[in-house]
Structures are given as C-alpha cells and as structure tokens.
Amino acid sequence: MRKTKSLRIPLVRMLPIMALLMCLSLLLPWVYIDVGEGALGYNAIKLLNSDVKLLNIKLPTILAVISFLLSVLIALKPNKKLLILQALLFAAGTISAVVCMLTAKELITASGISVRIFNISHLSYGIWSYMIISFVAVVINLKAMYEPVEYVALSIMASVWLLPIFWLVITSFRQEAGAYTPYLLPKDYTLDNFSRLFTETQQFNFPRWYMNTLVVAIFTCILTTSMVLMLAYTFSRLRFPSRKTFMNIGLILGMFPGFMSMIAVYHILKAIGLAKSLISLVLVYTGGGVLNYLIAKGFFDTIPKSLDEAATLDGASKSTIFRKIILPSSKPIVVYTAITAFIAPWVDFIFVSVIMKDDYQNYTVALGLYRMLEREHIYDYFTRFCAGAVLVAIPITLLFIKIQKFYVAGVVGGAVKG
C-alpha cells in the first residue's frame, strides 16, 4: 500500500533551519587558545584565517554551507533524489565533525600552541553542537522521506562490526613486521605477505596445510552429513525399543568438554594404527559432528508424516521413503549440516595439536596459524598470519553468502523446535 504523498513536507521545510543551525554552530567557538592572561575562543572563521592548522575545519564548513543551499532548494521544490543527496551531505557533515574531533589532539600538539582544555579532547561548544545538529538533521531527513530511521543505526553497527575485519585485511598487506604497532593504518603496502606464505615453506608450510585442511574438510563434510541424516531420520521416523534412551544419551554426550577426551582418543587411534594421519582427523571430526543430529531430527519432524504413510500404502520400504521423499525436501538442513561439518576442520586447533603432535607436514591451517602467533614467531609472522587468515576466510565467506538462505531455514526449522 504505497502512500500517495512520498514526502513529508513539514519536515522538509525544517531542513533549511537545521542547516542554518549548522552554519551558526560554526560561529560558536570550537577551541580556546591561551592568549596572555585568559583564553580566546576561536570559531570557524578565525580558524580558517589562522596560519597554523589547529583543526580540520575546512570540510565541516564547506559541508554546512552546501547543505544550507541545498536544503533551501529542496524546501522550495521538494524532490526525492535531492533529499537523498541531502541526507548524505548531513551524514558527511557528522562524520567530518567526528574526524575533526579525533584529529584535533594531534594537530594541536604539533602546532605547539597551547590550548585550554574545555571538554574532553580540548574542544568546545562549537564542534559538539555541529555534530549533534547534523545528526538530528540526518534523522529528520530520513523521516521526511518516509524512510526508516533504522538506516542510521544499521550503518553505525555495520561499520563497527566490519572494522576488525577491515583491520585484518589491511594488515595482511602491511610491510612492517610486528604485532603491537602503535598505529592503525600501515605505512607501506606490499603483497609480500601473501607470496611469502607460499614460498617460504620450510618453517610454515602453508600450501600443504591448506590442502590438508581442504581434503579433511571435504571428507568430514561427506561423512558427517551422511551419518547425521541417517541418525536424524532414524530417530524422527522410526520407532524401536530404547529409542528414547538413545536420544537422551545423544543429547547429553555433547555436554562433555571435548578436549578432555583427547588423550583417550589419541591412544585409541594409535591402537588402530591411525595416529598422526589425516584419516584420524576426519574420524575425530566426524565423531564429534554427528552429535548435532538433533537439529536435523527437528527438521525432519516438520515434514508431514502423511507423505510417509501414503508411500507405505503404495508399497515403498523405509529405505525408499528415506531416499525418495525425505531427502529431497530437506535441502536446507542438508546444506546446514554440510556447511557446519565443512567449516569444523578449518577452525579447530586443539584436536589437531593433540593428534598430530610433532608431525609438521600434517598440520591443518588452523593449527599452523595458531603457531604463528606464539611468542617466538609473532614479531615476524603477524602480517603473514593476517594474510593466511584472509586466505582461509575467503572461501568460507563465499560459501556462507551463497547458502545464507538455507542456513537460516535449516537452523530455524531444526534448532527451534528442539
């Protein structure tokens, strides 16, 4: 149901007032300079005129002025497209004020001029009012366009969430070594970190580990998925003695902290003769992964039993029902199980270190990356760690994005119903 009026005129008329207020806040003092006996407030005009750069004042000024002009134009002739531009301008204004505030300390200390501290970060009314007004302007602007205000919150949250990832990616291109650097952005960029991962393999054999992990992941995925489906179907559809007992046992088995059984598992594998091999990894991950059958079972429970009954009347055996009816309609949960099983070997570093011990060539990527952060190596290897992490994250991210829909449906269908 689309509203006929796509713009809220009263709010549109408020925008020029907001922009005007922004300009006025430029005239408020933004910073107080120590002058002889007292302190002199410097507002935007003075700051622009001063020889020494004390604040990054140019951008806020320009934005305020343009916003004012644009808002007047819009008030006279309301236009959706211009309103979007206006919203962006206001947002840019807020951001520029924030940037100004953040870079203030650096510039001021560099200039050598002593500054009286008023609020936090040595700054005064001007900049705070500018920030607040422009922020409110963004909100009003959005409301004027009948757009949800949530965009603001979402944008802020999205940036916060992505910041560490951004830092990870950018550090992987960093030239300088070291982990505890006092600055955020690298000084020099290079592709070396990536290439060195593949060329310097005597100590950290990244390519081999990547292949190891990939192979283990694929087999774990196949094995776990088949087993989980078998278990889930059995408990969902079949009725047999001690069914409830089995389910209860399966439920609580997952409660034990996994690594406690590490030693036992290692020795069992050794008795079979499989210790330190990739096969043992596959077995261990599968063994741990099958306990997630409850979610799949929950999903199967939602498939109507009437389909089963109809098929049985037609003479189908239980295994036929499984193959021809249940499996096709459970794509989401199959995908969910497969993806979860596939990801497990990439992220586990505890089990691998117990099973592989000192067999370097058979490590997985997770353990290798973890080792790079050990005390002796972290200085040299941190940037390469980031590069390796990026290389691991890319396939998983792509997978996730593609199957997002299935993942949600699978989890919701299964986990929620219990």
Partner 1 sequence: MKKLLSLMLVLGMLISAGSALAETVTLKVWGSQDDQVMLQEMVEAFKAANPDKEYDVSFGVVGEGDAKTKYLEDPEEAADVFAFANDQLYDLLNADALYEVTINKDAIVEANVPSAIEAASSGDHLYAYPITADNGYFLYYDKSVISEEQVKTLDGILEACSDAGKKMFMDVSNGWYIASFFIGAGGELGLDENGKQTCDFNNEAGVAAGEAIKAFTAHEAFLTGDDSILTGGIGTTIAAGVSGTWNAEAIKEKLGENYAATKLPTFTCAGEQVQMASFAGFKLMGVNTMTEYPEEAMALADWLTNEENQLKRFKMRSIGPSNIKVMENEEVKADIALSALAEQSKFAVSQKDVLGNYWAPAEAFGTTMEAKDYSKDIQTLLDEMVAGITN
Partner 2 sequence: MPKFIPAGRDRQSFAGIREIVNIFKQGDFATRSSFLIMGFGCIKRKQYIKGLLYFLMQVAFIAYMLGFANQYLSKISTLGTEAMRREWSEARQIYVRTPGDNSMLILLFSVMSILLIIAFVFIWRANIRSCYKAQQYEKLGKLQPTFKAEIKTLLNERFHITMLTVPSLMIVAFTILPIIFMILIAFTNFDANHQPPGKLFTWVGFKNFTDVFWSDPLISNTFGKILGWTLIWAVFATFTNYFFGMILAIMINKKGVRLKKMWRTIFVITIAVPQFVSLMLMSQILHDQGPLNMLLQKWGFIESNIPFLTDITYARITVIIVNIWVGIPYTMLITSGILMNIPADLYESASIDGASPARMFFSITLPYMLFVTTPYLITSFVGNINNFNVIYLLTKGGPLVTDYYQAGKTDLLVTWLYKLTVDKQNYSLASTIGIFVFVICASLSLVVYNMSGSVKREEEFQ
Q: Which of residues 132-161 bind partner 2 (CB under 8 A)?
A: 146-148, 150-151, 153-154, 157-158, 161
Buried b vs exposed e over 360-369: b needs ≥16 C-beta within 10 Å? bebbbbbbbb
Q: Is 373 in the site for partner 2 (CB under 8 A)?
A: yes
H or E element that contains 29: none
In angstroms, give the least distance from the CB of 190 to partner 2.
Answer: 19
80 CB-near residues (< 8 Å, 6+ apart): 6, 7, 145
Report the distance separating Cα 222 and Cα 219, nearest Å: 5
Minimum CB–partner distance for residue 120 and partner 2 (Å): 7
Q: Is 393 in the site for partner 2 (CB under 8 A)?
A: yes
Contacts to partner 1 by CB under 8 A: 178-181, 202-203, 263, 266-267, 270, 275-276, 354, 357-360, 375-379
6 near 78, Cβ under 8 Å? no
377: amino acid identity, one letter: H
* Strand blocks (E) in 132-188: none
Q: How far is the CB of 362 from partner 2 (least distance, A)?
A: 19
Can you name the residues that pair with 33 across neighbouring β-strands? 40, 115
Partner touching 156 among partner 1, partner 2, none, CB below 5 to 8 Å by kind: none
What does the per-residue mask of binding to partner 2 show for 212-241, with x meaning CB under 8 A?
---------------x--xx-xx---x-xx
List, in sequence order, every residue forming a beta bridge with 39; answer none if it has no partner.
34
- Residue 374 touching partner 2 (CB under 8 A): no
- Give 201 or 317: the residue with its C-beta nearer to partner 2: 317
Write down the least CB distance from residue 390 to partner 1, Å: 22
Q: How far from chain centre, in Å, is Cα 267?
A: 38
Residue 38: how many CB atoms within 10 A of its CB? 9
Sign of CA dihedral 213, 216, 221, 224: negative
Site string for partner 2, 310-349 (x = CB under 8 A): -------xxx--x--------------------x--xx-x
Distance of closest approach, residue 219 Cβ to partner 1, in angstroms: 24
123/355 with CB nearer partner 1: 355
- How many residues belong to the chain? 418
Name the token pair of 210.
């990547």
Choosing among partner 1, partner 2, none, which partner's interface includes residue 140 (Cβ < 5 to 8 Å by kind)? none
28 binds, among partner 2, partner 1, none (CB under 5 to 8 A by kind): none
